[in-house]
Chains A and B, each alone.
Chain A
Amino acid sequence: MSDDELAKDLGLLSALAIGMGTMIGAGIFVLPGAAAQEAGPIVVASFVIGGAIAMVNALAVSELGTAMPKAGGGYYYVNRGLGPLFGSISGMGDWMGLAFASAFYCIGFGGYLTDLLAGTVLALPTLEFGLVALTDIQLGALIAGLLFVGVNYMGAKETGGVQTVIVTVLLGILTVFAATGFLHFDWGTLTTDGLAPTEQGYGAILPGTALVFVSFLGYAKIATVAEELKNPGRNLPIAVIGSVAVVTAIYAVLVGTMVGIVPWHSLDDSVPVSQVAEITFAGIPVLDAVGVTLISLAAMLATASSANASILSSARINFAMGRDKIVTDKLNEIHPTYATPYRSILLTGSVIVVFIAALGQDLEILAKAASVLHLIVYGLMNLALIAFRQADVPDYDPDFRVPFYPVTPIVGAVLSFGLIGFMNPIEIGLSLAFVAVAVLWYALYARSKTPRQGVLGQYVLDRSDAMPDIAVSAASAASPDAADEHRVMVPLSNPRTERHLVSLASTLAAERDGIVHAVHIVQVPDQTPLDRGAERIDTESEKLLEQAREHAAAHDVEIETTTIASHRSVEEVFDAARQYDDDQVVMGWGGDRPWSVGRAEQPLDELARDLPCDFLVLKDRGYDPSRILLPTAGGPDSDLSAEIARTLRSATGASIDLLHVVDDESEREAGEAFLTEWAADHDIGDAVLTVDTSGDIEGAIAREAAGETLVVIGATERGLLSRLVRGSLVFDVVDDLECSVLLAERPTKRSLRERLFGRSKE
């Protein structure tokens, strides 16, 4: 088994247990009372509609989760899809949403704990310290909160079956409850005042949904641990969709039973399930004695597992945000003894404690704030899904696709944002404040740090001509600063000859305020372990990179250095360019460079067809870009060579001579017209234009190159690199010239995906 498979140990059952265990929590044990009082018996519809909204979003989560099984879930998809501005909103939203939800679960726990201990010597007191008052429920909630945070901080070992056992026990108890309830169910109780007896009538359904939606938070948490799932392509959709379906059904039955036993207006608004159980368990042996205690324990078990899962997944979100530098990565330090992300857990824990203490007296605010923030994330997630589909990102290849695209994600976004409208002003205000803080956070902190551009922003900026101006300026205004950084990679091998390469790379980088990325690829013979090779060569590598640093410093360019030990050489250049998101690679050619030996394990055609970025290959006979010859026949690769020549001219004041070769004198006029237009198009209209009518490209280049210092050739045919590695250059003439030659090749489809997705390690 590969390492990756060993790391994946969550089966379908575990994933379902996580989803259901997180959802079945305080929502169903606490809210039916308050919701029934607000909406009447029709509250059952509120729950079912909540389930339906959750289901539409579950489809989107399934598609995004199978496309990107990464830690972080909703945050990760939104950040990749819509960019770091919305990424910041969804990250903060998801994180704080979880903190609100956890505080809510803790209050639910506290309620049942207080109920359980009432009348015993352990009964929780109500505390008052001057202005600050804590109810007994809040006290219970604080104890619970500290306990859950402590458990996650120390990572007390939770072995495989526990979650599954908890969910099974919960379902068992709830089944007993529903079964006994069935015997007491009375349609008359349910319809005594009509189905929708409140002032708003049926209009109370959606506000009811807004209140109880918190009961459905949890299905998306399966996606935050997607990297641990076995066969995520299959198990993730089944677990996410399945857990929503099962939980919705359970809620409908339970709530229907409850309002059919206790009249809707008398349902207890803190421990309704216990209240109903007292009636239904009466007279049944054993249950009569322990039933209500059993319900209290079940409620506490359910809220504990919800809170626990929420705290755990908030740490995953922090990790994903830290990796994208939306928050500082220091937050994600691992504890040396407990191996837990303890700082993240402590911070989230503190927020939860503050929420319990400050807002814990009003359960509804906690529940709805959690819902609003999650709904914002769900809405954005649906939009991200649309962005991925529309931008047609090559690496976006989900195993599960939402049906009826684009209707489903549009409906998902509308429902998610729409439900927020049914909240109270205070919850909406509180949540908007969080969004504002997130936007500010992005503008003031994250924007200068994060290197990630979203699919949407890239899509708009790539089509800036076709897009409305306002969209383009909005996209560029929201773009992260760091993503624009132009990175020029230089693979180095030999200290004597690499100075010219570094100089060229520095010039190219400096013109765009970019950085040079010097990479020493140490080729290690197959029979030598990599670590060993790296060790031996360490000093040499350090010396080489130190020289590169000096050269770059002379050009006043920032430089980053990397040493890679590898059994391969050319492939490693490609991999490194991908991994580090480099925009250009400047390679040397010839001499004793390992990639000149013509040895590669992967078929090179395959490699060269999939260039990670622009490739520039220098046949080095000194670096002096003062007089540049630029032969062109048009085409995308000559675009690149024109760009390079222009950059060199702007940096060094070089002169540019353009050369176009046609077959005979009759084509001269057409050739001149082409060249003039081409030069104007590429912003080098003032270059000296030469049209050669010999029809002999190589001869023409040889003739014109006399007196020039650098020839820049765009590889007009595919596969420049594969030819290079086989030892045959594009033109033999390159070998005969006296000046340096720079060959330029641009990937056919500039592969955005590397920048968008990074490169996964698998």
Chain B
Amino acid sequence: MERSLFETVLVPIANERDAEATCRAILREIGDGDATLHVVHVIEKAGGAPDKAGVEQRREFADRIFDRVDTALATEPIPLETAVLYGTDVATAILEHADRLDATSIMFTPRGASRWKKLLSGDVAQKLLSNTDRPLVILPPGDTDE
């Protein structure tokens, strides 16, 4: 049977600003379909060295992101689940989670970072693009409040 792209959607979100832009974009696209959103934030582990920031600190950061998402979607009848993922590689962690959920698509908004920033922070979008085994839906961020 054909499954809609929107059936089980994995939405990786990197920061609070992303959270709002992504929610707006999703609300624009998703319509009245029976979508379930799985919003995740990946905490990048150094895998043997101390992390860039403490785990608890990063969890609090993730909680703030989820709060933003909750607020943005509060009035919508969309089932929502949130999860914090850990992994030494952000893209791999997202793809593995998509596999576990049997997600029908992975949706995100591009962060529009400069090449220089991408080099330093790791280009997650590029890695997803190269390694994905399921549909990627890249949503235009639309009007940001910048």
Inter-chain CA distance A37–B37, complex, in Å, is: 69
Are A538 and B58 in touch, CB under 8 angstroms?
no
Are A14 and B48 in touch, CB under 8 angstroms?
yes
The residue among B49, B70, B73, B86 with the most chain A CB atoms within 10 A of its own CB is B49
Residues in B42-100 with C-beta less than 8 Å from chain A? 43-59, 61, 70, 73-74, 76-82, 84, 86, 88
**Minimum distance in angstroms from B39 CB to a CB of chain A:** 9
Inter-chain CA distance A315–B54, complex, in Å, is: 9
B15 at the interface (CB under 8 A from A): yes
Are B54 and A163 in touch, CB under 8 angstroms?
no
Are B44 and A339 in touch, CB under 8 angstroms?
yes
Which of B116-124, B128-136, B137-145 faces chain A?
A: B116-124
Given contacts A336-B15, A339-B52, A340-B53, contact A154 B46 (CB under 8 A): no
A268 at the interface (CB under 8 A from B): no
Are A9 and B47 in touch, CB under 8 angstroms?
yes
Are B121 and A337 in touch, CB under 8 angstroms?
yes
Are B81 and A9 in touch, CB under 8 angstroms?
no
Nearest B residue to A221, CB-CB: B50
Rank and list the top 5 A-B pairs by shortest CB-CB distance, nearest first: A160-B48, A336-B15, A155-B52, A71-B54, A160-B47
Are A11 and B48 in touch, CB under 8 angstroms?
yes
Are B48 and A154 in touch, CB under 8 angstroms?
no
**0/1 per residue, A311-353, Cβ < 8 Å to B?**
0110110010001000000001010111111000000000000
Inter-chain CA distance A340–B117, complex, in Å, is: 14
7 A-B residue pairings within 8 Å (CB atoms)? A225-B54, A315-B53, A319-B57, A336-B14, A336-B17, A337-B14, A531-B79
Are A531 and B17 in touch, CB under 8 angstroms?
no
**Minimum distance in angstroms from B97 CB to a CB of chain A:** 12
Nearest A residue to B61, CB-CB: A334
Are A71 and B56 in touch, CB under 8 angstroms?
yes
Chain B residue contacts of A339, Cβ below 8 A:
14-15, 44, 52-53, 58, 61, 121
Residue from A7, A152, A319, A538 within 8 A of B45 (CB atoms): A7
Known: A529-B81, A531-B80. 4 other contacts (CB 8 A): A7-B45, A228-B51, A315-B54, A337-B121
Chain A residue contacts of B15, Cβ below 8 A:
334, 336-337, 339
Inter-chain CA distance A227–B121, complex, in Å, is: 24
Chain B residue contacts of A309, Cβ below 8 A:
50
**Minimum distance in angstroms from A361 CB to a CB of chain B:** 32
Are B120 and A334 in touch, CB under 8 angstroms?
no
Inter-chain CA distance A598–B57, complex, in Å, is: 38
Inter-chain CA distance A320–B88, complex, in Å, is: 24
Are B54 and A9 in touch, CB under 8 angstroms?
no
Count of A-B residue pairs with CB < 8 Å? 129
A670 at the interface (CB under 8 A from B): no
Inter-chain CA distance A10–B49, complex, in Å, is: 7
Chain B residues within CB distance 8 Å of chain A: 14-18, 43-59, 61, 70, 73-74, 76-82, 84, 86, 88, 111, 113, 117, 120-122
**Minimum distance in angstroms from A98 CB to a CB of chain B:** 14
- The A interface is mostly helix, strand or loop, or mixed, namely helix
**Minimum distance in angstroms from B95 CB to a CB of chain A:** 16
Are A6 and B49 in touch, CB under 8 angstroms?
no
A158 at the interface (CB under 8 A from B): yes
Residues in A211-261 with C-beta less than 8 Å from chain B? 225, 227-228
Chain A residue contacts of B59, Cβ below 8 A:
761
Residues in A124-173 with C-beta less than 8 Å from chain B? 152, 154-164
Are A312 and B113 in touch, CB under 8 angstroms?
no
Inter-chain CA distance A6–B45, complex, in Å, is: 9
Inter-chain CA distance A163–B73, complex, in Å, is: 43
Nearest A residue to B53, CB-CB: A341
**Minimum distance in angstroms from B139 CB to a CB of chain A:** 18
Are B86 and A3 in touch, CB under 8 angstroms?
yes
Chain A residue contacts of B81, Cβ below 8 A:
529, 531
Residues in A25-79 with C-beta less than 8 Å from chain B? 70-71
Residue from B45, B49, B61, B120 within 8 A of A338 (CB atoms): B120
Are B54 and A10 in touch, CB under 8 angstroms?
no
A534 at the interface (CB under 8 A from B): yes
Are B49 and A159 in touch, CB under 8 angstroms?
yes
Are A154 and B50 in touch, CB under 8 angstroms?
no
Inter-chain CA distance A70–B59, complex, in Å, is: 14
Chain B residue contacts of A6, Cβ below 8 A:
45, 86
Nearest B residue to A529, CB-CB: B81
A535 at the interface (CB under 8 A from B): yes
Nearest B residue to A156, CB-CB: B120
Inter-chain CA distance A71–B50, complex, in Å, is: 11
Are B50 and A312 in touch, CB under 8 angstroms?
yes
Inter-chain CA distance A334–B46, complex, in Å, is: 17
A18 at the interface (CB under 8 A from B): yes
Are B73 and A535 in touch, CB under 8 angstroms?
yes
Inter-chain CA distance A162–B15, complex, in Å, is: 28
Inter-chain CA distance A341–B49, complex, in Å, is: 16
Inter-chain CA distance A249–B43, complex, in Å, is: 38
Are B50 and A10 in touch, CB under 8 angstroms?
yes
Inter-chain CA distance A456–B44, complex, in Å, is: 38
A532 at the interface (CB under 8 A from B): yes
Chain A residue contacts of B82, Cβ below 8 A:
531
Inter-chain CA distance A14–B57, complex, in Å, is: 21
**0/1 per residue, A6-21, Cβ < 8 Å to B?**
1101110010001000
**Minimum distance in angstroms from B105 CB to a CB of chain A:** 19
Chain B residue contacts of A761, Cβ below 8 A:
59
Inter-chain CA distance A336–B18, complex, in Å, is: 9
Inter-chain CA distance A398–B43, complex, in Å, is: 28
Nearest B residue to A341, CB-CB: B53
Are B49 and A316 in touch, CB under 8 angstroms?
no
Residues in A529-550 with C-beta less than 8 Å from chain B? 529, 531-532, 534-535, 538
Are B48 and A334 in touch, CB under 8 angstroms?
no
Are A157 and B53 in touch, CB under 8 angstroms?
no
**Minimum distance in angstroms from A524 CB to a CB of chain B:** 12
Residue from A70, A157, A534 within 8 A of B70 (CB atoms): A534
Inter-chain CA distance A319–B57, complex, in Å, is: 7
**Minimum distance in angstroms from A305 CB to a CB of chain B:** 10
Chain A residue contacts of B121, Cβ below 8 A:
154-155, 337-339
Given contacts A225-B50, A228-B50, contact A538 B57 (CB under 8 A): no
Inter-chain CA distance A309–B14, complex, in Å, is: 25
Are B50 and A532 in touch, CB under 8 angstroms?
no
Are B84 and A336 in touch, CB under 8 angstroms?
no
Chain B residue contacts of A340, Cβ below 8 A:
52-53
The residue among A161, A309, A319, A535 with the most chain B CB atoms within 10 A of its own CB is A535
**Minimum distance in angstroms from B46 CB to a CB of chain A:** 6
Are A7 and B74 in touch, CB under 8 angstroms?
no
Nearest A residue to B51, CB-CB: A228
Are A163 and B117 in touch, CB under 8 angstroms?
no
Inter-chain CA distance A425–B58, complex, in Å, is: 42
Inter-chain CA distance A471–B111, complex, in Å, is: 57
Chain A residue contacts of B50, Cβ below 8 A:
10, 18, 225, 228, 309, 312-313
Residue from B57, B70, B74, B88 within 8 A of A159 (CB atoms): B88
The residue among A159, A531, A532 with the most chain B CB atoms within 10 A of its own CB is A531
The residue among A159, A163, A761 with the most chain B CB atoms within 10 A of its own CB is A159
Given contacts A156-B120, A529-B81, contact A319 B46 (CB under 8 A): no
Are B74 and A538 in touch, CB under 8 angstroms?
yes
Given contacts A14-B49, A316-B54, A531-B79, contact A157 B117 (CB under 8 A): no
Are B61 and A9 in touch, CB under 8 angstroms?
no
Chain B residue contacts of A163, Cβ below 8 A:
48-49
Inter-chain CA distance A159–B74, complex, in Å, is: 39
Are A9 and B79 in touch, CB under 8 angstroms?
no
Are A319 and B86 in touch, CB under 8 angstroms?
no
Given contacts A160-B48, A534-B70, contact A337 B53 (CB under 8 A): no
Chain A residue contacts of B18, Cβ below 8 A:
336
Chain B residue contacts of A14, Cβ below 8 A:
48-49
Are B52 and A338 in touch, CB under 8 angstroms?
yes
